[in-house]
Amino acid sequence: MLIRIAAAFAVVLSILFASTSASADFSENPIVYFLITDRFFNGNPANDHAYGRKNDGASEIGTFHGGDLAGVTQKLKSGWFSALGVNAIWLSAPFEQIHGWVVGGNAEFKHYAYHGYYTTDFTVLDSNMGTVEELRELVDTAHSQGIRVLFDVVMNHPGYLDIQSAIDFKIPVIWRGAEKAELGNYHEFIDYNADKKKWAQWWGGAWVRAGLPGYTPEGTDDYTKQVAYLPDFRTDSKEFVSLPPFLKRKSDTRAVELQKATVRDYLVGWLAEWVREYGVDGFRCDTVKHVEPAAWKRLKAEAVAALSDWKAKHPDKKIDDEPFWMVGEYWGQGIEKSPLYGNGFDALINFDFQGRVSSSRDLDSLFHDYAARLSGKPGYNVLSYLSSHDTRLYPRNRLIDGGTALLLAPGGVQIFYGDETARPNGPTVPSDAQQATRSDMNWNSINQTVLAHWSKLTRFRARHPALARGAHHRLATSPYVFSRVIDGGGDAIVAALGATGEVDIPVAGVFKEGAQLVDAYSGRESTVINGKVHLLGESVVLLEERR
């Protein structure tokens, strides 16, 4: 029943606000919804246990939960995303992952690659995620609603070699009986000292750095060290390489042997092909700090060309003619401009926002600082977030205020799935607290108050690029009132926070005397008289000119 109510709510909102699509270029006002596909919605239960993957029958911390591409498409068709007002969906990496599990935490749970960060084959979809037909339907459905599709991508590393993959790909480095391994004895079944010819049957030393026989050892700098002991792709190498032996033998791979190609050439080509074939609009790039900037610049150039090719072949399916878009995760990056913006990135994830909004109630200082750097056309952007899969979920009892701060912030914004519904933390272990942030979407326990609040703010933001790029001015302190204005009459809004009951909101210098305004939060209309509007506020007031 609750699922049907939520779906009906989404459809009603999409109808009510059908005319409120974003009026700015996406790159100026990105509103990105990040979901972990496996934890979002199960659209096809038949693919839940691909490659023999199993539930653990306990807490299911690190197992596949069934979410897939078909599930995202179902939610697109129900109107969930358009009702929320987002203009891009960031999907966890959908490529084929390691088939089995590795030891999670301090030998506390079986860790499968449900999150997409342990790729085995970059050229095919993971069967748990679905089929190429389902991917094509997802992208086409999103585009028909004006919503871009972004892939999470990793060029720093593939996945670990797990026991099941070693069995499936016939890599002779495991002992007999390895299929019966458990958390306590897992590594005893992998022969880490096997002859280098045996280990060469996997990626091989020309492809990755790893502490294995015959492999190039890791380095000491950010570009060459192994992150979390994962094999490090040698994207910096000028050496020409052949396909790894296991990919040469893999019957369903789309990887083909190239002449005079480096590791970087292969990876860039594999990733760009998804853009050229399906019309993927952008990449969220993982572990940017650990890959040399030239590799990212190359990826961007190839992806721009690939999307241009796709749009030329599919003019009826494209959203617009904006180029391919790329955002990077560089740990610790804030709102300052970085040299990375000259190496392929349109935006970087903003690690400043979550901590700052959690520790301070001084929103005007935050808004002022952000607008000082991001208003106008500074040539770069950021994605601020309230919660993430790599840090923590924002306190669930503060999502009204937190959502207000995020969705009114200058720059771009990232909504983490379930922040709009008060999705609770999931099970975890002390040694890996981030697993708790990746719980199943709470379709059966949606907080409708939080959802309604976020939907109003997000759709208001989608209509007003001034929130992202406008000059910021405080107009009053109590209640807190501010304006965002794009010079030249491009767009303007006034917002008031803490405005409850009958209030006078100053708008002089933003809206003309006699202008007819609408509070997008309450739906009430008012007229500018003596530089003010008098209205009945519901804590948040979002003023725009009546259209």
Q: Report the length, in residues, of the chain.
A: 547
SS3 category, 331: coil
Q: If you write DSSP's letter for every residue of 439-485 in order, what string do you get?
A: PPP-TTS--HHHHHHHHHHHHHHHH-HHHHHSEEEEEETTTEEEEEE
Structure tokens at 307: 């999307």
351: Cα separation from own chain's centroid: 14
> Residue 322 is encoded by which pair of tokens?
């904006």
- The residues, ordered by sequence, that sit 6+ positions from 498 with a Cβ below 8 Å of its Cβ are 478, 479, 480, 539
The answer to whether the CB of 419 falls within 8 A of the CB of 354 is no
Burial class of 477 by CB neighbour count within 10 A (0 to 12, 13 to 18, 19+) = exposed
Which amino acid is present at 390? D
DSSP letter assigned to residue 528: -
CA 515 to chain centre: 39
| One-letter amino acid of 542 | L
Phi, psi of 416 (to 5 degrees): -90, 130
Q: What Cα–Cα distance (Å) separates residue 7 from each residue in 77, 84, 124?
A: 10, 12, 32
Cis ω for the linkage preceding 479 (within 30 of 0): yes
Biggest CA-to-CA distance, the chain: 85
Report the chain's terminal Cα–Cα distance, integer Å: 37
Handedness of CA 67, 73, 77, 79 (dihedral sign): positive
Q: Which residues are catalytic?
A: 286, 329
Phi, psi of 61 (to 5 degrees): -65, -50
Q: What residue type is 285 in one-letter code?
A: C
